[in-house]
Structures are given as structure tokens and as C-alpha cells.
Amino acid sequence: MDYIIIVFKNRNNTLKFYNMLKRAGVASSVMATPKGTNINCGICVKTDKKNFAVTKGLLLRSGASGFVGFYKISKQFGRLIVSKL
């Protein structure tokens, strides 16, 4: 199953954005940041790929700081594949 993660530089910004998505009714969760992103922050926001456009719009309107990037996570042959969007 493919999904999108939203990565920030620190935990505080990650949790702020997660709460913003929650208030907007976007299904999301907080998870450990996969190693393939090469980001030091230990957590990120996970959402279904169908929510990408809404999530990106909220991010742009919010002016959230510390944003690193959107990544698509997929599984192939039992391994996680991390692709920056």
C-alpha cells in the first residue's frame, strides 16, 4: 500500500501540522520517519495518497515552518521504497 509522509525538521512542527490536518478532518497519523528520507527528525505525518492535494494546500496556506518535503512510501518485494515528491 502506498502512502504519503510529510517531513519537518523538528517534532514540534510535525505535531502542529498533524493537529492542523486533524482539525481539517484529514485522516492522518504520526509515525517514525523512515531512514530513507535521511532526515534527523524522528517523527513525520502519514496520510493516504488520496489526501495529497488537500494536504499540500493546507501546508501552503498555513505557512508552516520547518517543512522538509513530501515523500511517497511504497513497498516492493518486502522493502520500503522512499521517493521524494
In Å, how far from its chain's centre is CA 33? Answer: 9
Q: What is the per-residue pLDDT across 63-79, written as a single tens digit (0 to 9) for each? A: 888 999 999 999 888 88
Indicate yes or no: pTM above 0.85.
yes
Q: Is 48 exposed, middle or buried (0-12, 13-18, 19+ CB in 10 A)?
A: middle
- Amino acid sitting at position 72: K
- Cα distances (angstroms) measured from residue 24 to each of 1, 52, 59, 73: 24, 14, 12, 23
Calculate the CA dihedral of residues 62, 68, 70, 76 and round it to 10 degrees.
-160
pLDDT value for 37: 73
Task: Tell the CATH topology of 3-84.
Answer: Alpha-Beta Plaits (3.30.70)
Per-domain residue ranges of the chain: 3-84
